[in-house]
């Protein structure tokens, strides 16, 4: 999966791609997988993208924008110790968000995204650092990204990359 994912990322454009949204929609619908998301730096952009397709309620159960530590803890149930030990922008926090939202909304799959969009670094993480996690009952994957550009550029690239991670994850689901 890692090799396949890297190959995809080497070829993929991180600009908005309506075809990627359609591919995710088709895969979730075909496989009858329910999805929930917990997003931080994207501030609802990923939810907007996932619900842009007519009929998305067949797979998208819901999501939360958990921007502050308190919101992350209350909305997803992530262990406060995870945030304290690893920081808001970390692999462990992304996984905690994905696990937590999936459990809270009773979905088969959860996606968590956290990062530093700027203008300043966050908790020792450079601006543009993003972690995306996807989990289901059998597997978990986390991908770290490093983006450049304005705050808005980073947010858009992060949301698009999260869709890419989700799509690749779905391609490997039986």
pLDDT tens profile 71-126: 999 999 999 999 999 999 999 999 999 999 999 999 999 999 999 998 888 888 99
With a CB cutoff of 8 Å and minimum separation 6, the contacts of 110 are 35, 36, 37, 38, 97, 98, 99, 100, 101, 102, 103, 133, 134, 135, 136
Report the Cα 89 to chain-centroid distance in Å.
Answer: 13
- The secondary structure element, H or E, covering residue 144 is strand 140-146
Domains and CATH numbers, the chain: 2-171 (3.90.950.20)
Q: What is the pLDDT of residues 113-167, one digit of tens each?
A: 999 998 888 888 999 999 999 999 999 999 999 999 999 999 999 999 999 999 9
Residue 31: band (very low, low, confident or very high) from pLDDT cuts 50, 70, 90: very high
For the entire predicted model, the pTM comes to 0.89
């Amino acid at each position: 999966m890692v090799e396949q994912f890297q190959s995809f990322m080497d070829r993929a454009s991180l600009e908005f791609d309506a075809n990627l949204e359609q591919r995710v929609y088709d895969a979730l619908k075909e496989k009858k997988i329910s999805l929930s998301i917990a997003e931080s730096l994207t501030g609802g952009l990923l939810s907007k993208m996932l619900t842009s397709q007519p009929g998305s309620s067949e797979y998208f159960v819901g999501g939360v924008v958990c921007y502050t530590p308190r919101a992350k803890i209350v909305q997803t149930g992530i262990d406060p110790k995870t945030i304290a030990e690893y920081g808001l922008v970390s692999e462990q926090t992304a996984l905690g968000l994905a696990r937590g939202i999936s459990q809270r909304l009773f979905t088969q799959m959860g996606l968590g995204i956290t990062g530093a969009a700027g203008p300043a670094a966050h908790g020792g993480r450079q601006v543009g650092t993003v972690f995306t996690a996807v989990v289901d009952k059998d597997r978990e994957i986390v991908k770290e990204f490093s983006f450049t550009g304005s705050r808005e550029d980073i947010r858009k690239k992060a949301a698009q990359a999260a869709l890419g991670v989700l799509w690749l994850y779905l391609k490997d689901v039986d």
